[in-house]
Each structure stands twice: as structure tokens, then as C-alpha cells.
Amino acid sequence: MAITHEIKVQRREDEGKGASRRLRHAGTVPAIVYGGELKPVSIQLNHNEVWVASQNDWFYASILDLSLNGDVQKVLLRDLQRHPFKQQIMHMDFQRVNENEALHVSVPLRFLNEDKSPAGKSAEVVVTHELKDVNIACLPKDLPEFIEVDLGALSVGDIIYLSDLKLPAGVEIPSLKLGKDHDDAVVIAKHGKEEAEEAVEGAETAEVPAAKAAAKKDEPKK
């Protein structure tokens, strides 16, 4: 079952860059809610509350209950703009959710038991997480906050693919319908020596074009 989180909002009457700037100075975040059969609505949120919420994975992949004086609309966060260097959220976009329509959302992967696995216990094995999140499709009621990846049995040489993930009921990975070429690796466990050799080969491959370019540059002009 999807878990929802309530976020209190207020309607925003003034719009434009100047109004948004004043809101930010006052400690609020300008935002917009769109989608469904209703018109887009401009809103504002308390910055400190939103900032705390934004530190959690669920904020980006869960259904949020936007509460406007008790009037609740279920939404997903679709865009969040941050200040280039300040710890400040500049603007947010929310999309209304229809409980009867499938969602296409990116949810985080949560890796479990890596330190207990044969690969994790070996100092000679390098375990790489190729993906940190995965794009899924499901109805709002089935939306998970994350997908668990149990690495308890991971050994050197193992590769866990998207098709190996255990998905909750009602959840699917649309890209897998496109063929084996889209069955991306999620976790790879390699011997440290093998990893080092691949790194050296990659560096040598990069040096060859550079060397050719340098040699061509030194050739006398005709």
C-alpha cells in the first residue's frame, strides 16, 4: 500500500518574479499544482517544513496530500528547483494524481545485507551499485516508497539485473518490455584485480586517440 504524507499549503494570489522573490524572503516557497480536470493553482509552502521533508526519499517518490485549509489533493512532486549554493528551495511543481490512472515514477533502490554477503565480506571484491533508482509504473494505491534489493547472497562474479528485482504487487518496470537490451545491471560484484585491469584498459584506450591527435598536430603542413 502506498503511504501518504500531508503537506500544508496556502493559495498564492500574487504571481510573477517580484512576488516570488518576496515570498522567498518571507520564508515561503512558491509552487504550482497542475493536472487532472482542474485548472493549475498557484500555492505557497513553508520553506522550513518543506526543506525538512526534502531530506527524505519518500518526498520524491510518494503520494503527497497537499492540504489547503482541509481541502486535500493527492499529488506527486514533479520538479524542485534549488538555489545554486544556498540551502534554499526556489520553486516546486506538483502533479495531481488520478487513483485510476497508472503512474510512471522513479523510485529509489534500497540495498540490504551487502555487508553480510560473501562479496561484501571479502576485501578482494568490489561491489558497485550501477543504479540508485528505477522507473516503475503502477496505480497510486500500489506506489512503493522504495524497492528493496537484498544482497545477502551476493558473491564475486554475480550481476543483479532489473529483471531480478522483487517488485511489490501491482508494480512493473516498463523498460523490461522493450527487450533484453533494456535489462540493465543494478549491482555488480567483481574481483578487485579485475576491476583494476578494466580501469587500466580504459585509460589506455583514452590515451590512444590523444596520442594520435598529438602526432597529427606535429606533422609538417603540406
Per-residue pLDDT at 5: 87
Domain that holds residue 77: 4-96
153 belongs to a structural domain: yes
- The per-residue pLDDT for range 85-99, each reduced to its tens digit, is 999 999 999 999 998
- The per-residue pLDDT for range 7-61, each reduced to its tens digit, is 999 888 777 677 777 888 888 999 999 998 889 999 999 999 999 999 998 898 8
Is 192 found in the same domain as 110? yes
Is 40 found in the same domain as 117? no
219 belongs to a structural domain: no
Which runs of E-coded beta strand occur in the chain?
Answer: 4-11, 28-34, 41-46, 63-68, 71-82, 89-96, 103-112, 125-129, 133-138, 147-150, 159-161, 185-191
* CATH number of the domain that residue 76 is part of: 2.40.240.10
Is 118 found in the same domain as 84? no
Is 191 found in the same domain as 110? yes
Is 176 found in the same domain as 120? yes
Is 180 found in the same domain as 118? yes
Final residue of a structural domain among 72, 96, 120: 96
- Determine the Cα–Cα distance for residues 166 and 81; give it in Å rounded to an integer: 33
